[in-house]
Structure 1
Amino acid sequence: MNINEHLLFLQGFFKEPKRVGSVIPSSRFLAAKMVQSVPWNEVKAVAELGSGTGAITRFIKPQLHESKVLLFERDKKMRNNLRIEYPDFPCYSNACQLVKTIHQEGIGQLDCIISGLPFFNFTSEMRETLLHQMVEALKPGGVFVAFQYSLQMKKQFAKAFTIENIEFVPLNFPPAFVYTCRKKEML
């Protein structure tokens, strides 16, 4: 990661701190933890929500086996940077339109969603919309991996998904919790 990406992230934070969530991008330790629990050999379609400057995308790319990757980033400058860095990964601005976007891309359902979104900073309405979109977009048994800076979203994540694991990553600023979840199977 270069100094320009750090500055881009910092600018995004000062412009919209509740949407960016941190003053610096995720550490390589957090990014590695985010991708390690995904069964990449089974992933045909994945979405990364809150891609930022690509700190986690960088770790996703080497894991892929002919998978379709969709990136979502609200900040226009960061989104443009992602389009340059990852020209093969379509990049969109609004994760609240996840289901519509995957259908436009010809994807029935996603195998995996990786999220760097600061859910707790959002309004309860926006959190509910995002969670609904993710549940609709994921296939039954699909993997949802997210990091948060606290355990405040645990209850809401547990309503929407089966939480398989929560790991603490101290080597990040701020330190973070990585949730590994699965979409509940249909009965």
Structure 2
Amino acid sequence: MNINESLLFLRGFLINPQRVGSVLPSSRFLATKMLQSVPWNEVKAVAELGSGTGAITSLIKAQLSGPTKVLLFERDKKMRNKLRTDYPDFTCHSNACQLVKKMNQEGIGSLDCIISGLPFFNFTSEMRDTLMNQIVEALKPGGIFVAFQYSLQMKKKFSEDLIIEKIEFVPFNFPPAFVYTCRKRETL
């Protein structure tokens, strides 16, 4: 993380703290923990929600082998423009509430994995419901959803829609975070 990324992130937080949940991008410890449970050799399509300045995106790129479709979602226009410049092979979109629509436009039937840095607890209950519906619809049966949060307040909501496989605490981040690794239920 360089000083420009930190300042860009801080600017986004000061303008809209509801959407940018922290004053700093994710630490390398948090970014690494976010990606540990993903079987990257099986991932053909992945979305990152709340990509920010690309702290996790850079590690996603390093994990990819072969043709993998990557969709990035970031509301902040300046951060989104930086992502487009830094990751020209990935598609960038502004609204994660349109995840399924954007997948369809890209010719993606389902996602193997969704990585999220969205501050769910800051959103209205309606927005949380919309996002969770989009996530569940977008994931293939057995697909993985990994999200970090700064508290355990989303545990109940995540468990309503997904199977929580584990929750890990990452102290080396500001603020410290919990990483939820969840799986979409298999269809019967």
TM class by smaller structure: over 0.9
Show CA shifts across 1:22-44 (max 9, x none).
00000000000001110001100
Q: C-alpha deviations, 1:55-81, integer Å up to 9, x for none? A: 000111111122111000000000000
Q: Match of 1:6, as an amino acid?
A: S
- The share of aligned pairs that are identical, in percent, is 79
| Matched position secondary structure for 1:17 | coil
Aligned length: 187
Q: 1:87-130: per-residue Cα shift (whole Å, max 9, x none)? A: 11110000000000000000000000000000000000000000
Structure 1 partner of 2:44: 44
CA-based RMSD of the aligned residues comes to 0.5
**Tell me, which stretches of 5 or more residues in structure 2 are unaligned?**
none
Do structure 1's residue 161 and structure 2's residue 158 form an aligned pair?
no
- Alpha-carbon deviation of 1:186? 1.1
Q: Determine whether 1:96 maps to 2:108.
A: no
Q: Which amino acid aligns with 2:37?
A: S
**Matched residue of 1:156: which SS?**
helix
Paired residue for 2:20? 20
Q: Which amino acid aligns with 1:44?
A: K
Normalised by the length of structure 1, the TM-score is 0.99
Letter in 2 for 1:100: K
Matches within 5 A, 1:3-18: 3-18=3-18
TM-score for both structures, normalised by structure 2 = 0.99
Equivalent position amino acid for 1:97 in 2: Q
Q: Does the residue aligned with 1:100 lie in a helix, a strand or coil? A: helix
Once the 2 structures are TM-superposed, how far is the Cα of residue 181 of structure 1 from its aligned partner? 0.4
Structure 1, unaligned runs of 5 or more: none
Could you tell me which amino acid in structure 2 is paired with residue 83 of structure 1? R
**Structure 1 consecutive aligned stretches of length 4 or more whose deviation exceeds 3 Å:** none
Provide, for residues 120-150 of structure 1, a one-character-per-residue CA deviation record: whole Å limited to 9, x for no partner.
0000000000000000000000000000000
Letter in 1 for 2:53: T
